[in-house]
């Protein structure tokens, strides 16, 4: 990470949780998804840093944070998040995928947050596929990360249909030959954490109605090119939230917030979070500059994400 200030806090169980801070303004927490670290969200943080002080969290099991631990659970993630929130005073937050689940759970059981933006949060509305868990774990134990990842691609529901139909041996060989770059280097150490996090997601099945108790205003974002059925599931969640709204961003898939984030993600996030920020005295104010979401359907946001880590089971 090339800019910002690194900090750590201790969670309830003593685990160190690292985060990087960029920018100046109202504090915003940024919580990432599975198979990702804070590094993957620095582009989004930088895009928001002109108006916010953004704290990009390395969730436990990655980056500058300590290990998940043997008693890993959603409760541990919640403790970690609230430790960073207490240290920063942030009442605004952005969460992607699994990070969105953690934020919504925090807003359900505490009043620490005023406004959340969650991009395809990992809250299961439909049944969660779990048949890949055991073979994935077996291949990891055998020292075969590529083989494990094939089980994830084929079983978690996030791969394009054509990939899911290819033979296991063929996909494994293709990954070993073609998936060796920086993306794989950063992802490989997170494969164990990925399984633990998807087990947590599976444990949430059947409790979507619990999110009626969320105490924050929430904007749910989804990509127009995400896996079929994603938007429909998220609309169910948006309807359950007491103060929820939803937007589908044309041309984007599950990875819209990552790396160089799509302008539509940045614009929608800024516009929603800035509603709580008082305008600057003597100026038109930030809210006037963002009084509509005029850029959310820009064609230049239509980016391809042709890579094998298609959307994991949310």
pLDDT of residue 180: 78
Could you identify the residue written with the tokens 């198979």? Answer: 35
pTM, two decimal places: 0.87
Task: List the domains of the chain with CATH numbers.
Answer: 5-126+208-301 (3.40.50.1820), 133-200 (no CATH)
- Taking the C-alpha atoms of residue 15 and residue 151, their distance in angstroms, rounded to an integer, is 30
- Taking the C-alpha atoms of residue 144 and residue 142, their distance in angstroms, rounded to an integer, is 6
Beta strands in 97-174 (DSSP E): 115-119
The share of the chain scoring above pLDDT 70, in percent, equals 87
- Taking the C-alpha atoms of residue 61 and residue 273, their distance in angstroms, rounded to an integer, is 28
pLDDT of residue 6: 97
Mean pLDDT of the chain: 88
Q: What residues have CB less than 8 Å from 107, skipping those under 6 apart?
A: 113, 116, 214, 215, 216, 218
Q: H-helix or E-strand containing 238?
A: helix 230-240
Q: How many CA atoms lie within 13 A of 286 on its CB side?
A: 18
- Taking the C-alpha atoms of residue 204 and residue 74, their distance in angstroms, rounded to an integer, is 9
Q: What is the token pair recorded at 44? A: 């989004």
Q: What's the pLDDT band for 288 if we cut at 50, 70, 90? A: very low
Apex CA 42: angle with CA 32 and CA 64, to 5°?
65
pLDDT, average across residues 143-154: 94
Beta strands in 71-166 (DSSP E): 92-96, 115-119
Question: Among 133-137, 263-267, 273-277, which is the least confidently predicted range?
Answer: 273-277
- Return the SS3 of 18: strand
pLDDT of residue 276: 67
pLDDT at 306 over 90: no
- Each residue's pLDDT tens digit, 157-209: 777 777 777 888 888 998 888 877 888 899 999 999 999 999 999 999 999 99
Contact 152, 201 (CB under 8 A): no
- Each residue's pLDDT tens digit, 12-38: 999 999 999 999 999 999 999 999 999
Could you identify the residue written with the tokens 């938007």? Answer: 231
pLDDT at 112 over 50: yes
């Amino acid at each position: 990470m090339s800019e910002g200030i690194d900090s750590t806090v201790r969670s309830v169980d003593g685990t160190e949780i690292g985060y990087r801070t960029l920018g100046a303004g109202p504090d915003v927490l940024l919580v990432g998804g599975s198979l990702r670290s804070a590094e993957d969200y620095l582009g989004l943080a930088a895009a928001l840093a002109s108006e916010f002080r953004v704290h990009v969290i390395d969730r436990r099991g990655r980056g500058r944070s300590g290990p998940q631990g043997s008693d890993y659970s959603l409760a541990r993630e919640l403790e970690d998040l609230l430790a960073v929130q207490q240290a920063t005073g942030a009442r605004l937050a952005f969460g992607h995928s699994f990070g969105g689940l953690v934020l919504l759970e925090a807003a359900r059981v505490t009043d620490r947050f005023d406004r959340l933006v969650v991009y395809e949060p990992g809250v299961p509305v439909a049944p969660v596929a779990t048949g890949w868990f055991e073979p994935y774990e077996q291949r990891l134990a055998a020292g075969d990360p590529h083989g494990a990842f094939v089980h994830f691609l084929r079983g978690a529901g996030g791969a394009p249909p054509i990939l899911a139909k290819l033979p296991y041996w063929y996909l494994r060989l293709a990954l070993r030959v073609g998936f060796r770059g920086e993306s794989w280097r950063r992802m490989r150490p997170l494969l164990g954490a990925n399984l633990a996090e998807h087990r947590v997601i599976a444990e949430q099945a059947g409790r979507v109605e619990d999110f009626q108790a969320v105490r924050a205003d929430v904007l749910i974002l989804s990509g127009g090119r995400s896996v079929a059925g994603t938007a429909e599931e998220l609309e169910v969640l948006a309807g359950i939230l007491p103060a929820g709204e939803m937007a589908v961003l044309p041309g984007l898939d599950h990875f819209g917030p990552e790396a160089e984030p799509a302008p539509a993600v940045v614009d929608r996030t800024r516009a929603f979070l800035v509603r709580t920020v008082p305008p600057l005295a003597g100026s038109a104010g930030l809210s006037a500059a963002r009084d509509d979401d005029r850029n959310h359907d820009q064609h230049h946001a239509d980016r391809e994400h042709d890579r094998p880590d298609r959307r994991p089971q949310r």
